[in-house]
Structure 1
């Protein structure tokens, strides 16, 4: 019985010690001087450039009617499912070699089957200086069927 009481007291002492240690760490964090990132304003626009702009199919079709170009990054056999009006097919694996076929002064509406490859393609184009690129949400699976 004495051993059990000794073990319980030791455990209680250890738990109390751990709580004090956490309290000390919390106090250190609270009293630490805040770190100011002096490059934040300059870095913010770069972060905004890495944000993929997305549109749904209704907006994409509206933009296409106003002159935006659909870019289908699926592989040729997938085109048997159908494709957006007047879409340019550049499979994702060929995009880096063929991006010169895409005008930088036009809105580009990038889509694939479900949206994963088009997101990657949009990022690749953005890294190469294309700023008028839009990922079409849901890919061709979400294309409005008439």
Structure 2
């Protein structure tokens, strides 16, 4: 249980994010479809947090996965769900702005 809270509130590791983005990570916006349609990161797919566990097949075979949202809370939960299902290559990108900034610095 502690691991879930640790992932939810862990600060974003910018070094890990930078490396994942520069290696062409699978970018996943875990916000709602309405939030996603208002704007996201170039190349990102929308898999809302409440759908992540039902769409694990979309994550299989991805070398690096970056999950992100509005505040970093939902992306922390998404990272935890993915790790509980065996994914070890997941980075909590935190906010949409964090990930966008890394893409622009690429």
Scaled to the shorter chain, the TM-score interval is 0.7 to 0.9
Q: Which residue of 2 aligns with 1:55?
A: 13
- Consecutive unaligned residues in structure 2, runs of 5 or more: none
- Consecutive unaligned residues in structure 1, runs of 5 or more: 1-46
Q: Which residue of 1 aligns with 2:39?
A: 82
What CA distance in whole angstroms lies between the structure 1 residues aligned with 2:38 and 2:19? 22
Q: Which residue of 1 aligns with 2:96?
A: 140
What CA distance in whole angstroms lies between the structure 2 residues aligned with 1:61 and 1:107? 11
Q: Tell me, yes or no, if the aligned pair for 1:68 and 1:106 is still in contact at 8 Å.
A: yes
Q: Which residue of 2 aligns with 1:96?
A: 53
Instruction: Give 1 or 2: higher strand fraction.
Output: 2
Q: Tell me, yes or no, if the aligned pair for 2:68 and 2:93 is still in contact at 8 Å.
A: yes
Q: Which residue of 2 aligns with 1:131?
A: 88
Bigger Cα Rg:
1
When the two chains are superposed, the root-mean-square deviation of aligned CA atoms in Å is 2.7
Aligned residue pairs, count: 96
Q: Tell me, yes or no, if the aligned pair for 1:104 and 1:132 is still in contact at 8 Å.
A: no
* TM-score between the two structures when normalised by the length of structure 1: 0.55
What CA distance in whole angstroms lies between the structure 2 residues aligned with 1:126 and 1:87? 20
Correspondence list, 1:62-77, <5 A: 63-77=20-34
What secondary structure does 1:82 align onto? coil
Higher relative contact order (CA 8 A, sep 6+): 2
